[in-house]
Amino acid sequence: MLKLDDTHIDFIRSDIQSRGVTTDALIDDIVDHVCCLLEQQVREETEFKVVYTDIIQKFYGSSLSDIEKETQLLKHFKNYYAMRKTMLYSGLFATISLVVGLVLKFTHAAGAAALILSGIVVFSFLFLPLVVILKTRDQGPKRDMLLTVVGAICGMLFAMGTLFKIMYWPYANMLGIVAFFMMALAYIPIMFFTGIRNPETKTNSILTTFVLITGLGLVLTLMRSPEATHRYQLQRTAEYLEDERMLAMQQQLCDEMGMQQPRNRQEVQLDSLCVALKRMVLQLDMNQDSLPISMLNGTEPINDGPMQKTLRDDEQASASLQELQQAIEDYNKELQLDAKRTLPVSSALFMKGEMRTVDVLSALAKIRLALLLNREIRGNH
């Protein structure tokens, strides 16, 4: 057994410092452990450096300075490992929830909305914040920490924009646009200009920039421009106005044929509910009882808000919707007693999904048109 002297200890201390360990207390601890192992394993002076090299390599994975980083993390950030484990589990949970939720959504199975919602919330408010916290605690380059923070903010905005979109909440488009421009004007420039300064990361930074810009461009191609959106809304408004013109023409035809009055109580009730619901829709969407002249002329589109959900959330409108559904069932039962070839009334108002304001108005107009057509059929037989 070799007895270590000051020369050996000075050599060990100097080597540990050269490997990136700077904390005196940690150096003393490592020297003490190494000396104990050396005294047990070294028998002759000639074996010292060989055994020492073998022992010191067992203290670390990539470099000895990792021990100091871990020590600093444990000293200043006591919950580091618990938070890292939470980050990993939350990321796994968010990923599985989103994937399973999307599969259920495409198969129209129950539970899709809850899984997608929980996945996005966990990803945005647990996983990404933990990534930022753990990354900022790390002793890496400031460039990496800045990119992590900006990237996490972009990810949260994109995720929240998606959640707001599928839940038909306001400001969904605004969140997506902010995330898009933050990615294009902040994240990509920071990553590119800081990365090309380092020869080791120059090529990867350029390639990653190409991929990100191409990805943003592909996302942009899926979005409608404001002008295209305006034209689309004008087209849908024109389609609804055409439904109203057909309704007016059918009403005029029934009047000319002497069929001004409804045939029964169910028809009166159903028509009155449609008129009342139309008024509610206009009140909830525009705060007025009728369409303005600009919309009637087709120069201004009807608002594209999620009206079906708005009706369900409004107590009075929700009750009227239920009453309308019951009135349609009663009307169709009455039609079945008639031997004439009448048309049962149906409506997309009660289907799953979401209808915009113009869709609800058009659906109500189609119900009233079906009533007039059945009145004409009954009158001709």
Per-residue pLDDT tens digits for 130-155: 998 888 776 567 777 888 889 999 99
- For residue 350, is pLDDT > 80? no
Chain mean position to CA 80: 28
Q: Considering the entire predicted model, what is its pTM?
A: 0.63
Alpha carbon distance 179, 64 (integer Å)? 40
The residue ranges of every structural domain in the chain are 6-65, 72-221, 226-380
pLDDT digits (tens, 9 = 90+) for 26-48: 777 777 877 787 777 767 666 67
CA angle 22, 24, 27 (to 5 degrees): 80
Residue 12 has pLDDT above 90, yes or no: no
